[in-house]
Structure 1
Amino acid sequence: MTSPPRIYGAVVDDQTRCVHYHSLRDVIAIKFACCRRYYPCFRCHGDSESHPAEQWLEGDVDHLAIVCGVCHTEMSIRSYQSVTHCPACAAEFNDGCRVHAHLYFALAPSS
C-alpha cells in the first residue's frame, strides 16, 4: 500500500482541512502546477512558498492534481471537475471551491 501524498500548509486535521477552510466538506488538496506540492488552498500556498502560484493549463486536465482528504485517492483535474463527491469514498466536496477554480486552473469554462 502506498502512503498518502504529503499535504503542505497550515493543515488542521488528517483530512486536508486548513486554517483558512475547514468546513466538513473542505476535504481536498490541490497539487500546484508550479511546485508540484499539495496544498489545501491558495492561501496556504501563498503563506508557505516564496514563488507565485501557477495555474494548470488546459492540456493538463489528465494530471493527477487533486487528492481526497478522506480516503487519499488522487484524481485528475478532469475527474475532479466532473464530480461533487469523491468517486472512491463518496465524501462530499465543497461546491464553493468552484469560486476559486480560476486560481488553480487556466481552463476554458464548462458549457
Structure 2
Amino acid sequence: MWMKRIFPHVIGIELDPQTRCIHYRSRLDIISIKMKCCGLYYACKDCHAALADHPAQVWPCSEWAQKNVLCGACGAELTTQEYLDSDNQCSACNAAFNPGCHNHYHFYFEAK
C-alpha cells in the first residue's frame, strides 16, 4: 500500500513542490533547513532573512544529532550529522543534493 508522506511546513519565497525557492532553483536545490533561532524550516538563509523578524542562528555541534534538514524530494528529515555525511545524497530516497551548498554551511552550522 502506497502512503503519501506529509512534509513539514517550509517557509520561503516562490516555493516549488520540492522546496526550491526564488534564490536557489537548480535541480539539486532540494533541501530546507530548520533554523536554530525559530525551529521553523526555511528554504534558504535568504528566505529567512527576508521573511523572519529576527537574525538567524547556527546549529551548535552539540545539537547535530537533531533532525533539522529536510529532503524536498521525499520529505525525510535528516540530522545535521547525517546531512553533512551524506555525500550530497538523501539517505532515504537517494535524491542528489547540491554539492555547492557546502559553501553555505557556516550560515547554518557551527564550524568544528
TM > 0.5 fold call? yes
User: Unaligned 5+ residue runs, structure 1?
Assistant: none
Q: Distance in 2 between matches of 1:53 and 1:68?
A: 20
Give the count of matched residue pairs: 108
Q: Distance in 2 between matches of 1:15 and 1:98?
A: 19
| Aligned match of 2:75 | 72
Matched, 1:28 2:31: yes
The CA deviation at 1:3 is 2.1
| Deviation by residue 1:48-91 (Cα, 9 ceiling, x = unmatched) | 00100000001011010000000000010000000110011111
| Aligned match of 1:94 | 98
Q: Normalization by structure 2: what TM-score? A: 0.93
- Paired residue for 1:81, among 84, 87, 97? 84
SS at match of 2:50: helix
SS at match of 1:106: coil
- Paired residue for 2:7, among 1, 4, 16? 4
User: Unaligned 5+ residue runs, structure 2?
Assistant: none
Identity of aligned residues (%): 40
Q: Normalization by structure 1: what TM-score? A: 0.93
